[in-house]
Amino acid sequence: MSPLHVVILAAGQGSRMKSALPKVLHALAGRPMLHHVIATARSLGAETIHTVIGHGADQVRASVPEGSIHWVEQREQLGTGHAVAQVLEHLPDDARVLVLYGDVPLTRSATLETLVRHISDTSLGLLTVTMDDPKGYGRIVRDADGQVTAIVEQKDATPEQRAIQEVNTGILGVTAAQLKAWLPRLSNSNAQGEYYLTDIIAMAASDQVTVEVNQPDDALEVQGVNNRVQLAELERWFQRHQARQLMLDGATLADPERVDVRGNLRIGNDIFIDVNAVFEGDVRLGNNVRIGPGCVIKDADIGDGTEIKAYSVIESSSIGANAQIGPYARFRPGNTLAANTKVGNFVELKKSVVGEGSKINHLSYVGDATLGTNVNVGAGTITCNYDGANKYPTVIGDGAFVGSNASLVAPVTLASGVTVAAGSTITRDVADNELAVARGRQRNISGWERPKKH
Protein backbone atom coordinates (compact mmCIF):
# COMPACT_ATOMS: atom_id res chain seq x y z
CA MET A 1 0.00 0.00 0.00
CA SER A 2 1.33 3.44 -0.87
CA PRO A 3 2.21 5.63 2.10
CA LEU A 4 -0.42 7.95 3.58
CA HIS A 5 0.69 11.55 4.02
CA VAL A 6 -1.56 13.91 5.95
CA VAL A 7 -1.49 17.64 5.24
CA ILE A 8 -2.97 19.83 7.99
CA LEU A 9 -3.76 23.43 7.07
CA ALA A 10 -3.18 25.74 10.01
CA ALA A 11 -1.78 28.98 8.62
CA GLY A 12 -4.83 31.19 9.00
CA GLN A 13 -5.04 33.94 11.56
CA GLY A 14 -8.37 33.16 13.15
CA SER A 15 -9.11 36.81 13.76
CA ARG A 16 -12.64 36.07 14.98
CA MET A 17 -11.19 34.36 18.06
CA LYS A 18 -10.04 37.84 19.17
CA SER A 19 -6.97 36.29 20.70
CA ALA A 20 -3.19 36.57 20.95
CA LEU A 21 -3.11 32.77 20.84
CA PRO A 22 -3.09 31.21 17.35
CA LYS A 23 -6.53 29.73 16.70
CA VAL A 24 -5.39 26.11 16.38
CA LEU A 25 -3.86 26.29 19.87
CA HIS A 26 -7.16 27.10 21.55
CA ALA A 27 -8.01 24.15 23.75
CA LEU A 28 -10.80 21.67 23.28
CA ALA A 29 -11.12 19.22 26.19
CA GLY A 30 -7.85 20.59 27.58
CA ARG A 31 -5.77 20.04 24.44
CA PRO A 32 -5.07 22.40 21.54
CA MET A 33 -7.41 21.77 18.61
CA LEU A 34 -4.40 21.04 16.42
CA HIS A 35 -3.35 18.21 18.73
CA HIS A 36 -6.71 16.51 18.24
CA VAL A 37 -6.18 16.65 14.49
CA ILE A 38 -2.63 15.31 14.80
CA ALA A 39 -3.88 12.44 16.98
CA THR A 40 -6.51 11.62 14.36
CA ALA A 41 -3.86 11.66 11.61
CA ARG A 42 -1.72 9.28 13.67
CA SER A 43 -4.64 6.93 14.24
CA LEU A 44 -4.96 6.61 10.46
CA GLY A 45 -1.35 5.43 10.23
CA ALA A 46 0.00 8.54 8.51
CA GLU A 47 3.63 8.10 7.53
CA THR A 48 4.27 11.83 7.67
CA ILE A 49 2.13 14.67 9.01
CA HIS A 50 2.86 17.93 7.19
CA THR A 51 1.43 20.97 8.92
CA VAL A 52 1.18 24.26 7.06
CA ILE A 53 1.70 27.18 9.41
CA GLY A 54 1.82 30.94 9.04
CA HIS A 55 0.23 33.13 11.69
CA GLY A 56 1.81 32.39 15.06
CA ALA A 57 4.08 29.79 13.42
CA ASP A 58 6.63 29.72 16.24
CA GLN A 59 4.02 29.22 18.93
CA VAL A 60 2.29 26.49 16.94
CA ARG A 61 5.57 24.69 16.30
CA ALA A 62 6.55 24.88 19.97
CA SER A 63 3.29 23.24 21.05
CA VAL A 64 4.27 19.73 19.98
CA PRO A 65 7.42 17.66 20.69
CA GLU A 66 10.24 18.42 18.31
CA GLY A 67 10.58 16.06 15.37
CA SER A 68 7.03 14.70 15.50
CA ILE A 69 5.64 16.94 12.74
CA HIS A 70 6.99 18.14 9.41
CA TRP A 71 6.35 21.89 9.43
CA VAL A 72 5.89 23.85 6.24
CA GLU A 73 5.69 27.62 6.37
CA GLN A 74 3.28 29.50 4.19
CA ARG A 75 4.46 33.08 4.43
CA GLU A 76 1.48 34.66 2.75
CA GLN A 77 -1.98 33.13 2.98
CA LEU A 78 -2.96 33.09 -0.68
CA GLY A 79 -5.63 30.41 -0.37
CA THR A 80 -6.15 26.76 0.50
CA GLY A 81 -4.74 25.61 -2.87
CA HIS A 82 -1.63 27.70 -2.33
CA ALA A 83 -1.31 26.25 1.18
CA VAL A 84 -1.33 22.64 -0.03
CA ALA A 85 1.05 23.57 -2.88
CA GLN A 86 3.69 24.46 -0.27
CA VAL A 87 3.83 20.79 0.69
CA LEU A 88 4.01 19.36 -2.85
CA GLU A 89 7.80 18.98 -3.01
CA HIS A 90 7.73 16.96 0.22
CA LEU A 91 5.22 14.41 -1.04
CA PRO A 92 6.59 11.19 -2.57
CA ASP A 93 5.07 10.56 -6.01
CA ASP A 94 3.39 7.37 -4.85
CA ALA A 95 1.82 8.89 -1.72
CA ARG A 96 -1.87 9.06 -0.88
CA VAL A 97 -2.65 12.47 0.60
CA LEU A 98 -5.36 13.42 3.07
CA VAL A 99 -6.02 17.14 3.66
CA LEU A 100 -7.24 18.09 7.15
CA TYR A 101 -7.62 21.42 8.98
CA GLY A 102 -6.17 22.52 12.30
CA ASP A 103 -9.44 24.19 13.23
CA VAL A 104 -11.65 21.16 12.48
CA PRO A 105 -10.79 19.10 15.55
CA LEU A 106 -13.35 16.33 15.94
CA THR A 107 -13.54 14.33 12.72
CA ARG A 108 -13.77 10.63 13.58
CA SER A 109 -11.11 8.30 12.22
CA ALA A 110 -13.77 5.96 10.85
CA THR A 111 -15.20 8.76 8.69
CA LEU A 112 -11.76 9.51 7.31
CA GLU A 113 -10.93 5.85 6.71
CA THR A 114 -13.87 5.66 4.33
CA LEU A 115 -12.59 8.74 2.53
CA VAL A 116 -9.03 7.41 2.32
CA ARG A 117 -10.27 4.17 0.73
CA HIS A 118 -11.41 6.23 -2.26
CA ILE A 119 -7.94 7.55 -3.06
CA SER A 120 -6.73 5.96 -6.29
CA ASP A 121 -5.44 6.85 -9.76
CA THR A 122 -9.02 6.93 -11.00
CA SER A 123 -10.87 8.40 -8.01
CA LEU A 124 -10.58 10.79 -5.11
CA GLY A 125 -12.43 11.07 -1.81
CA LEU A 126 -14.41 14.15 -0.80
CA LEU A 127 -16.18 14.72 2.51
CA THR A 128 -19.35 16.75 2.22
CA VAL A 129 -22.23 17.63 4.48
CA THR A 130 -25.78 18.77 3.84
CA MET A 131 -26.86 21.90 5.67
CA ASP A 132 -30.13 23.72 6.25
CA ASP A 133 -28.20 26.96 5.94
CA PRO A 134 -25.27 26.47 3.56
CA LYS A 135 -24.31 30.15 3.50
CA GLY A 136 -20.57 30.83 3.35
CA TYR A 137 -19.55 27.33 2.29
CA GLY A 138 -18.39 25.95 -1.04
CA ARG A 139 -21.31 24.28 -2.86
CA ILE A 140 -21.07 20.80 -4.34
CA VAL A 141 -22.12 20.96 -8.00
CA ARG A 142 -23.35 17.69 -9.55
CA ASP A 143 -24.31 16.83 -13.13
CA ALA A 144 -27.54 15.21 -14.29
CA ASP A 145 -26.15 11.77 -13.37
CA GLY A 146 -25.33 12.95 -9.86
CA GLN A 147 -21.57 13.00 -10.51
CA VAL A 148 -19.70 15.78 -8.73
CA THR A 149 -18.29 18.16 -11.34
CA ALA A 150 -17.12 21.16 -9.33
CA ILE A 151 -17.11 23.06 -6.06
CA VAL A 152 -18.20 26.67 -6.26
CA GLU A 153 -17.40 29.05 -3.43
CA GLN A 154 -20.21 31.16 -1.97
CA LYS A 155 -18.81 34.37 -3.40
CA ASP A 156 -18.46 32.92 -6.89
CA ALA A 157 -21.78 31.06 -6.95
CA THR A 158 -24.79 31.85 -9.10
CA PRO A 159 -28.18 32.18 -7.34
CA GLU A 160 -29.06 28.63 -8.49
CA GLN A 161 -25.80 27.27 -7.09
CA ARG A 162 -26.36 29.10 -3.81
CA ALA A 163 -29.55 27.08 -3.40
CA ILE A 164 -27.47 23.87 -3.21
CA GLN A 165 -27.43 22.58 0.36
CA GLU A 166 -24.64 20.05 -0.02
CA VAL A 167 -21.40 21.80 0.95
CA ASN A 168 -17.70 21.14 0.99
CA THR A 169 -16.12 20.35 4.36
CA GLY A 170 -12.68 21.02 2.87
CA ILE A 171 -11.51 17.52 3.81
CA LEU A 172 -10.41 15.45 0.84
CA GLY A 173 -8.13 12.61 -0.15
CA VAL A 174 -6.15 12.48 -3.40
CA THR A 175 -2.95 10.99 -4.75
CA ALA A 176 0.23 13.04 -4.68
CA ALA A 177 0.45 12.52 -8.44
CA GLN A 178 -2.95 14.13 -8.92
CA LEU A 179 -2.00 17.09 -6.73
CA LYS A 180 1.23 17.51 -8.67
CA ALA A 181 -0.71 17.61 -11.92
CA TRP A 182 -3.49 19.90 -10.75
CA LEU A 183 -2.18 22.41 -8.20
CA PRO A 184 0.28 24.13 -10.56
CA ARG A 185 -2.70 24.85 -12.83
CA LEU A 186 -4.74 26.74 -10.19
CA SER A 187 -5.53 30.35 -10.90
CA ASN A 188 -6.60 33.09 -8.54
CA SER A 189 -8.99 34.81 -10.88
CA ASN A 190 -12.06 34.48 -8.68
CA ALA A 191 -14.10 36.65 -6.34
CA GLN A 192 -11.57 36.40 -3.48
CA GLY A 193 -8.37 36.49 -5.57
CA GLU A 194 -7.27 33.24 -3.86
CA TYR A 195 -5.86 29.94 -5.07
CA TYR A 196 -8.73 27.62 -4.20
CA LEU A 197 -7.97 24.00 -3.39
CA THR A 198 -11.58 23.34 -4.34
CA ASP A 199 -10.84 24.05 -8.01
CA ILE A 200 -9.09 20.67 -8.32
CA ILE A 201 -12.53 19.05 -8.24
CA ALA A 202 -13.41 20.42 -11.69
CA MET A 203 -9.97 19.32 -12.92
CA ALA A 204 -10.62 15.83 -11.58
CA ALA A 205 -13.95 15.69 -13.39
CA SER A 206 -12.40 16.73 -16.70
CA ASP A 207 -9.56 14.20 -16.21
CA GLN A 208 -12.09 11.39 -15.74
CA VAL A 209 -11.17 11.02 -12.06
CA THR A 210 -14.33 10.09 -10.17
CA VAL A 211 -15.18 12.16 -7.11
CA GLU A 212 -16.33 9.70 -4.43
CA VAL A 213 -18.34 11.48 -1.77
CA ASN A 214 -19.00 10.45 1.78
CA GLN A 215 -20.64 12.24 4.67
CA PRO A 216 -19.96 12.10 8.41
CA ASP A 217 -22.51 10.55 10.79
CA ASP A 218 -22.78 13.89 12.59
CA ALA A 219 -22.23 17.33 11.05
CA LEU A 220 -20.31 18.43 14.15
CA GLU A 221 -17.51 16.07 13.09
CA VAL A 222 -16.64 18.49 10.31
CA GLN A 223 -17.58 21.70 12.10
CA GLY A 224 -14.75 24.19 11.91
CA VAL A 225 -14.06 26.66 14.68
CA ASN A 226 -14.05 30.32 13.72
CA ASN A 227 -15.07 31.84 17.05
CA ARG A 228 -15.44 30.88 20.69
CA VAL A 229 -19.13 30.12 20.34
CA GLN A 230 -18.35 27.33 17.89
CA LEU A 231 -15.53 26.14 20.11
CA ALA A 232 -17.94 25.85 23.05
CA GLU A 233 -20.45 23.92 20.90
CA LEU A 234 -17.81 21.38 19.99
CA GLU A 235 -16.59 21.18 23.59
CA ARG A 236 -20.09 20.29 24.83
CA TRP A 237 -20.60 17.76 22.06
CA PHE A 238 -17.28 16.11 22.85
CA GLN A 239 -17.92 16.08 26.60
CA ARG A 240 -21.37 14.59 26.12
CA HIS A 241 -19.86 11.88 23.97
CA GLN A 242 -17.21 11.09 26.60
CA ALA A 243 -19.81 11.08 29.38
CA ARG A 244 -21.88 8.58 27.44
CA GLN A 245 -18.85 6.35 27.01
CA LEU A 246 -18.10 6.52 30.75
CA MET A 247 -21.62 5.39 31.53
CA LEU A 248 -21.33 2.53 29.06
CA ASP A 249 -18.02 1.62 30.71
CA GLY A 250 -19.51 1.34 34.20
CA ALA A 251 -19.79 4.78 35.75
CA THR A 252 -22.96 6.29 37.17
CA LEU A 253 -22.91 10.00 36.48
CA ALA A 254 -25.12 12.20 38.64
CA ASP A 255 -25.57 14.34 35.54
CA PRO A 256 -23.84 13.50 32.24
CA GLU A 257 -24.06 17.18 31.29
CA ARG A 258 -21.93 18.14 34.28
CA VAL A 259 -18.72 16.16 34.11
CA ASP A 260 -15.67 17.28 32.13
CA VAL A 261 -12.85 15.05 31.05
CA ARG A 262 -9.81 16.88 29.71
CA GLY A 263 -7.51 14.01 29.03
CA ASN A 264 -7.73 10.29 29.49
CA LEU A 265 -9.95 8.81 32.21
CA ARG A 266 -9.83 5.05 32.73
CA ILE A 267 -12.34 3.50 35.08
CA GLY A 268 -13.25 0.25 36.78
CA ASN A 269 -16.82 -0.84 37.45
CA ASP A 270 -19.41 0.72 39.74
CA ILE A 271 -17.96 4.20 39.78
CA PHE A 272 -20.07 7.09 40.97
CA ILE A 273 -19.21 10.61 39.81
CA ASP A 274 -21.16 13.50 41.25
CA VAL A 275 -21.82 16.81 39.48
CA ASN A 276 -19.14 19.20 38.26
CA ALA A 277 -16.19 16.88 38.60
CA VAL A 278 -13.26 17.75 36.32
CA PHE A 279 -10.66 15.18 35.28
CA GLU A 280 -7.41 16.25 33.66
CA GLY A 281 -4.44 14.40 32.20
CA ASP A 282 -4.24 10.66 32.90
CA VAL A 283 -6.56 9.50 35.65
CA ARG A 284 -7.44 5.97 36.67
CA LEU A 285 -10.29 5.16 39.02
CA GLY A 286 -10.47 1.63 40.44
CA ASN A 287 -13.69 -0.28 41.09
CA ASN A 288 -16.28 1.29 43.39
CA VAL A 289 -14.58 4.67 43.52
CA ARG A 290 -16.85 7.60 44.43
CA ILE A 291 -16.03 11.13 43.35
CA GLY A 292 -17.90 13.91 45.13
CA PRO A 293 -19.25 17.10 43.60
CA GLY A 294 -16.83 19.76 42.41
CA CYS A 295 -13.66 17.65 42.61
CA VAL A 296 -10.71 18.39 40.32
CA ILE A 297 -8.56 15.33 39.71
CA LYS A 298 -5.45 15.47 37.57
CA ASP A 299 -2.91 12.75 36.76
CA ALA A 300 -3.98 10.49 39.58
CA ASP A 301 -4.47 6.84 40.36
CA ILE A 302 -7.28 6.10 42.80
CA GLY A 303 -7.64 2.63 44.29
CA ASP A 304 -10.71 0.41 44.63
CA GLY A 305 -13.38 1.60 47.03
CA THR A 306 -11.81 4.97 47.70
CA GLU A 307 -14.02 7.98 48.13
CA ILE A 308 -12.97 11.50 47.20
CA LYS A 309 -15.48 13.78 48.89
CA ALA A 310 -16.78 17.14 47.73
CA TYR A 311 -14.51 19.92 46.45
CA SER A 312 -11.22 18.11 46.76
CA VAL A 313 -8.32 18.90 44.41
CA ILE A 314 -5.95 16.03 43.68
CA GLU A 315 -2.88 16.44 41.50
CA SER A 316 -0.19 13.92 40.48
CA SER A 317 -0.87 11.53 43.33
CA SER A 318 -1.57 7.89 43.91
CA ILE A 319 -4.13 6.82 46.52
CA GLY A 320 -4.62 3.23 47.65
CA ALA A 321 -7.81 1.29 48.22
CA ASN A 322 -10.61 2.24 50.60
CA ALA A 323 -9.21 5.65 51.45
CA GLN A 324 -11.45 8.53 52.55
CA ILE A 325 -10.34 11.87 51.16
CA GLY A 326 -11.92 15.28 51.71
CA PRO A 327 -14.20 17.14 51.65
CA TYR A 328 -11.95 20.07 50.74
CA ALA A 329 -8.67 18.15 50.65
CA ARG A 330 -5.85 19.56 48.57
CA PHE A 331 -3.17 17.28 47.14
CA ARG A 332 -0.32 19.11 45.47
CA PRO A 333 1.87 16.90 43.27
CA GLY A 334 3.83 13.91 44.46
CA ASN A 335 1.86 12.04 47.13
CA THR A 336 1.55 8.31 47.62
CA LEU A 337 -1.11 7.13 50.04
CA ALA A 338 -1.54 3.51 51.08
CA ALA A 339 -4.85 1.75 51.64
CA ASN A 340 -7.30 2.77 54.37
CA THR A 341 -5.83 6.22 54.78
CA LYS A 342 -7.91 9.27 55.71
CA VAL A 343 -7.27 12.86 54.75
CA GLY A 344 -9.91 15.28 55.89
CA ASN A 345 -11.03 18.85 55.34
CA PHE A 346 -8.56 21.66 54.72
CA VAL A 347 -5.56 19.37 54.66
CA GLU A 348 -2.82 20.17 52.18
CA LEU A 349 -0.40 17.42 51.19
CA LYS A 350 2.73 17.77 49.08
CA LYS A 351 5.38 15.17 48.16
CA SER A 352 4.40 12.95 51.04
CA VAL A 353 4.06 9.25 51.65
CA VAL A 354 1.29 8.13 53.97
CA GLY A 355 1.29 4.55 55.25
CA GLU A 356 -1.65 2.22 55.62
CA GLY A 357 -4.34 3.25 58.09
CA SER A 358 -2.84 6.68 58.81
CA LYS A 359 -5.08 9.70 59.32
CA ILE A 360 -4.67 13.44 58.84
CA ASN A 361 -8.18 14.52 59.50
CA HIS A 362 -8.31 18.29 59.86
CA LEU A 363 -6.59 21.56 58.92
CA SER A 364 -3.00 20.45 58.37
CA TYR A 365 -0.06 21.00 56.06
CA VAL A 366 2.04 17.91 55.45
CA GLY A 367 4.88 18.39 52.97
CA ASP A 368 8.04 16.38 52.21
CA ALA A 369 6.93 13.92 54.89
CA THR A 370 6.97 10.18 55.23
CA LEU A 371 4.38 8.73 57.57
CA GLY A 372 4.39 5.07 58.62
CA THR A 373 1.31 3.00 59.28
CA ASN A 374 -1.49 3.94 61.67
CA VAL A 375 -0.16 7.41 62.36
CA ASN A 376 -2.64 9.95 63.70
CA VAL A 377 -1.88 13.56 62.87
CA GLY A 378 -3.95 15.91 65.00
CA ALA A 379 -5.87 18.95 63.82
CA GLY A 380 -3.79 21.95 62.81
CA THR A 381 -0.48 20.12 62.66
CA ILE A 382 2.07 21.68 60.33
CA THR A 383 5.29 20.29 58.93
CA CYS A 384 7.67 23.26 58.86
CA ASN A 385 9.54 21.91 55.85
CA TYR A 386 11.02 25.15 54.54
CA ASP A 387 13.50 27.49 56.19
CA GLY A 388 13.17 30.14 53.52
CA ALA A 389 15.98 28.66 51.45
CA ASN A 390 15.79 24.87 51.52
CA LYS A 391 13.23 22.13 52.07
CA TYR A 392 13.71 19.34 54.63
CA PRO A 393 12.01 16.03 55.32
CA THR A 394 9.83 14.97 58.21
CA VAL A 395 9.66 11.28 59.13
CA ILE A 396 6.94 9.92 61.41
CA GLY A 397 7.10 6.27 62.50
CA ASP A 398 4.38 3.64 62.75
CA GLY A 399 1.69 4.27 65.30
CA ALA A 400 2.85 7.76 66.21
CA PHE A 401 0.24 10.15 67.63
CA VAL A 402 0.80 13.83 66.94
CA GLY A 403 -1.35 16.06 69.12
CA SER A 404 -3.28 18.97 67.71
CA ASN A 405 -1.55 22.14 66.62
CA ALA A 406 1.96 20.72 66.65
CA SER A 407 4.70 22.29 64.54
CA LEU A 408 7.22 19.74 63.32
CA VAL A 409 10.34 21.67 62.33
CA ALA A 410 12.14 19.67 59.64
CA PRO A 411 14.47 17.92 59.30
CA VAL A 412 13.02 15.89 62.12
CA THR A 413 12.24 12.26 62.83
CA LEU A 414 9.59 10.95 65.20
CA ALA A 415 10.25 7.27 65.74
CA SER A 416 7.49 4.68 66.03
CA GLY A 417 4.99 4.92 68.83
CA VAL A 418 5.93 8.52 69.64
CA THR A 419 3.38 10.84 71.22
CA VAL A 420 3.65 14.57 70.64
CA ALA A 421 1.82 16.79 73.08
CA ALA A 422 -0.68 19.19 71.59
CA GLY A 423 0.71 22.61 70.78
CA SER A 424 4.34 21.45 70.75
CA THR A 425 7.00 22.87 68.49
CA ILE A 426 9.23 19.89 67.79
CA THR A 427 12.77 20.69 66.70
CA ARG A 428 14.66 17.57 67.84
CA ASP A 429 14.25 13.91 66.95
CA VAL A 430 12.11 11.79 69.26
CA ALA A 431 12.94 8.13 70.01
CA ASP A 432 10.59 5.13 70.03
CA ASN A 433 7.57 5.44 72.28
CA GLU A 434 8.73 8.69 73.91
CA LEU A 435 6.37 11.53 74.76
CA ALA A 436 7.62 14.88 73.45
CA VAL A 437 6.30 18.01 75.11
CA ALA A 438 7.63 21.30 73.81
CA ARG A 439 5.49 24.17 74.95
CA GLY A 440 5.13 26.68 77.80
CA ARG A 441 3.99 25.07 81.03
CA GLN A 442 0.54 26.16 82.17
CA ARG A 443 0.26 28.33 85.31
CA ASN A 444 -3.13 29.00 86.92
CA ILE A 445 -3.21 32.22 88.96
CA SER A 446 -5.93 32.31 91.56
CA GLY A 447 -7.46 35.56 92.81
CA TRP A 448 -6.78 37.19 89.47
CA GLU A 449 -8.78 40.34 88.87
CA ARG A 450 -9.58 41.58 85.44
CA PRO A 451 -8.75 45.17 84.55
CA LYS A 452 -11.74 47.51 84.99
CA LYS A 453 -12.83 50.28 82.67
CA HIS A 454 -11.80 53.82 83.92
What is the distance between the alpha carbons of residues 140 and 165, in angstroms, rounded to a whole number? Answer: 8
Q: What share of the chain is helix, strand, coil (3-state, %, to 5)?
A: 20, 35, 45
Q: Which member of 151, 400, 415, 418 binds ligand UD1 (CB under 6 A)?
A: 151
Judge if the upstream peptide bond of residue 451 is cis by omega within 30 degrees of 0: no
**Which residues make Cβ contacts (< 8 Å) with residue 332, sequence separation at least 6?**
315, 348, 349, 350, 351, 367
Contact segment (CB under 6 A) with ligand UD1 among 79-87, 109-117, 204-212, 292-300 equals 79-87
The set of long-range contacts for 258-263, using a CB threshold of 8 Å and a minimum separation of 24, is 260/29, 261/29, 262/27, 262/29, 262/30, 262/31, 263/29, 263/30, 263/31, 263/298
What is the distance between the alpha carbons of residues 125 and 119, in angstroms, rounded to a whole number? Answer: 6
Q: Which member of 78, 88, 181, 310 binds ligand UD1 (CB under 6 A)?
A: 78
The answer to the question of residue 74 lying near ligand UD1 (CB under 6 A) is yes
Q: Which member of 52, 201, 291, 338 binds ligand UD1 (CB under 6 A)?
A: 52
x/- map, 298-327, ligand UD1, by CB under 6 A: ------------------------------
- Helix 33-43 / helix 109-117 crossing angle, nearest 10 deg: 50
Q: Which lies closer to ligand UD1 via its Cβ, residue 191 or residue 435?
A: 191
Q: Which lies closer to ligand UD1 via its Cβ, residue 171 or residue 289?
A: 171
What is the distance between the alpha carbons of residues 269 and 246, in angstroms, rounded to a whole number? Answer: 10
CB of 167 to ligand UD1, least distance (A): 5
The answer to the question of residue 82 lying near ligand UD1 (CB under 6 A) is yes
Ranges within 90-149 binding ligand UD1 (CB under 6 A):
101-103, 137-138
Is 5 among the catalytic positions? no
Cα distances from 159 to residues 64, 124, 202, 254, in angstroms, run: 44, 28, 19, 50
- Beta-bridge partners for 290: 272, 307
Ranges within 239-278 binding ligand UD1 (CB under 6 A):
none
Contact segment (CB under 6 A) with ligand UD1 among 190-198, 323-331, 374-382, 391-399 equals 190-198
Q: Which lies closer to ligand UD1 via its Cβ, residue 26 or residue 350?
A: 26
Q: Fill in the amino acid letter for 300.
A: A
CB of 254 to ligand UD1, least distance (A): 37
Q: How many residues does the chain have?
A: 454
Q: Active-site residue among 36, 90, 362, 454? A: 362
The answer to the question of residue 231 lying near ligand UD1 (CB under 6 A) is no
- Per rule CB under 6 A, count of chain residues that contact ligand UD1: 27
The answer to the question of residue 34 lying near ligand UD1 (CB under 6 A) is no
The answer to the question of residue 224 lying near ligand UD1 (CB under 6 A) is yes
CB of 140 to ligand UD1, least distance (A): 9
Report the first-to-last Cα separation within the chain, whole angstroms.
Answer: 100
Catalytic residues: 362
Which residues of this chain interact with ligand UD1, rule CB under 6 A? 9-12, 52, 74, 77-80, 82-83, 101-103, 137-138, 151, 153, 167-170, 196-198, 224
